[in-house]
Chain A
Amino acid sequence: MAVALKGGIRDRVLGAMVVVGLILLLTTPVVALFSMRQVLALATSYSLSIISLMGLLLTLFIAMSLLARDLEQGQVYTICSLPISRATYLLGKFFGFAILMFLAVAILGCFSAGALFVLERIHPAERAFGWGGFFIGLWFRYWVLLIVGAITILFSTVATSNFLPLALSVGVYLGSYSSEAVRYFIRTSAGQKELGAAVKLFGNAVYWILPNFSAFDLKAQIIYGVALNAGELLLTQLYAVGYLGVVLLLATLAFARREFR
């Protein structure tokens, strides 16, 4: 865990996030001024998009290199000779990644909140800005990144190239935001009539297998002040814990069986 965290700090990840945060702080008011009717909403949308995009890039970059670096440099042989299990090693790596991502999201979130706080005073919205919703949204975004990171690590444990885990993780990420919409479409009369049985089965299978990231997306609630549903949030959190647990368990099983040459 500490090694993964130090690796991230060595890569100057947090420093880079501070720089991105500063850019975010400076550009948010400029972007928001283009809005005709919803300055704060546009600023919030822009901030969350940047946090989301930076978080995803960082997740893919760190999670992909977590195992790859040790495998390439042969450090994994040394680690395997130590009196710790492969599962402990892998989970330690993941938790180091989790702490690093928490710090990265927190840094970006603080800079973003600073920009929004100032803008809220200059351009007050018709509805009061929900700070609670903003931080809850960031929290769920963090969980999306944790799951994406875990999935990337799972792919890394079985893949022999660096590119494959990256490509598969991006595919899973995009698919995870569409799976719910596809499932809704399958259930409509048009979907029932137009789609073949195999496509419907595939669409449903994708929905149940991939993480449903649409449930984690609270941007509409944050940006437009739409009420949050506490029950839904609780279920989403439990779903996230369950999904992460399953992916990490699969990753440890796959890593335990992996042969090193």
Chain B
Amino acid sequence: MKRIALLLVFVVLLVGNHVGLTGVRDARPPEARLGFYPPAPVIKALTADQYQFTSQLISLQCLFYFGTLVELRSQAPDWWRIYRAVYTSTRLDPYNMDAYYFAQAVLTWETGMTQQAIELLEHGFAHRTWDWYLPFYISFDYAFFLKDYEKAGMYLAKAAELKPEVEWYATLAARYFYEGGSTALALAYLEEMIPAARNEAIKKRLVTRAEAFEKVLQIEEAIAEYKERFQTNPEDLGRLVRAGLLERIPHDPYGGEFYLDEQGRVRTTSKLVPVEKIHGSHKN
């Protein structure tokens, strides 16, 4: 009887504390959630032949960390810490494609860490020499974010060489790069990314982004039609509606409003990130 009473005391102690501990750990700041990873050579020495799996565990940890924060929306991810973790993961196992895919999917659009993402991808391409995805991603980053069309063209040519059956790599991309049209390029890029996105948090982001670019493309096509018809630029998006080229001004899936800037380019007040989103910290 005494033992059962004692057992009950411990069970109550355990359950009560476990609930409390879970609450405390859930409220940890983003910096504490991803954990600390020592440099790759140290991990490699300590894990012996387990370093590949450790690398994959680190990239999965990044995915869980990012997914949880995005789903809960209560905390902004610490982008710099994510980058460091992905970096460590790729130094442990330079073939780890999950790490590169994750870096490309989350580090470029909202963090401005394009250069870091490119460096990671270039490291991957030096090892995964057969993988056409990596030069394709690098090409996109150079063209879309850095406007370096020469390097973009160079990497796209490499992707085309590895994947000749995707004809637009070799033909249409050159036109996109040299004649502008980055919206169409972004859409094409996202169409490649979305089917491969197995994680819901990442997939959701990519789909929303693709929807936004579809809207932008729709407006751009209406502007082109307007120019052809009236030989002048529309002053605002309302003109396109009044001219019957747009049924209505498309809705920005990020919660912003589309408008035309001074150069007549389509812009949105959301800057293609959720307007209610709190921006995460990152250090360059």
Contact = CB atoms under 8 A, between A and B. Distances in A.
Interface of A: 33-39, 41-42, 45-46, 48-49, 52-53, 126-127, 144, 173-174, 176-178, 181, 213, 217, 219-220, 223-224, 226
A24 B157 CA distance: 42
B63 A220 contact: no
Contacts of A53: 50
A220 B128 CA distance: 11
A144 B48 CA distance: 12
Contacts of A48: 52-53
A178 B95 contact: no
Contact of A220 (B45, B48, B95): B95
Given A178-B44, A181-B44, A220 B98 contact: no
B130 interface: yes
Contacts of A177: 44-45, 48-49
B192 to A, nearest CB: 12
B97 interface: yes
Interface in B7-60: 41, 44-46, 48-50, 52-53, 56, 60
Nearest to B53: A49
Given A35-B198, A37-B196, A126-B131, A52 B97 contact: no
A149 to B, nearest CB: 16
Contacts of B53: 45-46, 48-49
Contacts of A176: 48
B48 A213 contact: yes
Contacts of B93: 220
Nearest to A123: B198
A112 to B, nearest CB: 13
Contact of B56 (A45, A52, A144, A178): A45
Given A34-B60, A37-B196, A178 B45 contact: yes
A74 B68 CA distance: 59
B199 interface: yes
A219 B49 contact: yes
Given A35-B98, A39-B198, A224-B95, 20 more contacts: A35-B60, A36-B102, A37-B98, A41-B97, A45-B56, A48-B53, A49-B53, A52-B49, A52-B50, A127-B130, A144-B49, A174-B45, A177-B44, A177-B48, A178-B44, A178-B48, A181-B45, A213-B49, A220-B95, A223-B52
Contacts of A173: 48
B284 to A, nearest CB: 26
Interface in B193-225: 196-199, 202
Interface in B160-188: none
B49 A217 contact: yes
Q: Is the interface of A mostly helix, strand, loop or mixed?
A: helix
Contacts of A45: 52-53, 56
Nearest to B55: A45
B202 A36 contact: yes
A53 B52 CA distance: 13
A36 B41 contact: no
Nearest to A219: B52
Nearest to A222: B52
13 contacts: A34-B63, A36-B197, A37-B133, A37-B196, A45-B56, A174-B45, A174-B48, A176-B48, A178-B44, A181-B41, A217-B49, A223-B52, A223-B95
B56 A42 contact: yes
B125 interface: no
Given A42-B98, A53-B50, A219-B52, A36 B199 contact: yes
Nearest to B59: A36
A214 to B, nearest CB: 9
A38 B98 contact: yes
Nearest to A176: B48
Contacts of B50: 49, 52-53
A143 to B, nearest CB: 13
B52 A38 contact: no
A42 B55 CA distance: 10
A229 B96 CA distance: 21
